[in-house]
Amino acid sequence: MKHAVSFISLLLAMSVSAQTYDFTVTDSVAVTPVKNQASSGTCWCFATASFLESELLRKGKGEHDLSEMFIVRQKLINQLNDNYLRRGRGNIGQGSLSHTFLNAYNQVGIVPEEVYSGINYDSPRHNHGEMMAMLEAVAGVALKAKKRSPQYDAMVKSVLDTYLGPLPETFTYRGKTYTPKSFAESLGINTSDYVELTSFTHHPYYEAFELEVPDNWEHARQYNLPLDELMDVIDGALRSGYSVCWDGDVSERGFRFANGVAINPDVRDLSRYSAADSAVFAPLTEAQRLDSVMTFSRPYLEIVVTPEVRQEGFESFVTTDDHLMHLTGLAKDQNGTKYYVTKNSWGTDRNGFGGYLNMSESFVRAKTIYVMLHKDALPVALRKRLGIR
Q: Which residues are catalytic?
A: 43, 323, 344
Q: Are 117 and 37 in contact (CB under 8 A)?
A: no
Taking CA atoms, 230 is separated from 161, 168, 197, in Å, by 42, 41, 7
What is the Cα–Cα distance from 315 to 311, expressed in whole angstroms? 6
| Beta bridge pairs of residue 244 | 327
What is the Cα–Cα distance from 208 to 149, expressed in whole angstroms? 38
- Sign for the CA dihedral angle at 107, 108, 114, 116 comes to negative
| Beta bridge pairs of residue 22 | 17
Q: Are 197 and 222 in contact (CB under 8 A)?
A: yes
Q: Where are the alpha helices (DSSP H) in 43-149?
A: 43-58, 68-85, 98-108, 129-145
Angle at 50 between CA 47 and CA 54, to 5 degrees: 140
How long is the chain? 389
User: Smallest Cα–Cα separation from 262: which of 348, 180, 364, 334?
Assistant: 364
Measured from the Cβ of residue 202, the count of other Cβ atoms closer than 10 Å reads: 10
Q: Are 340 and 327 in contact (CB under 8 A)?
A: yes
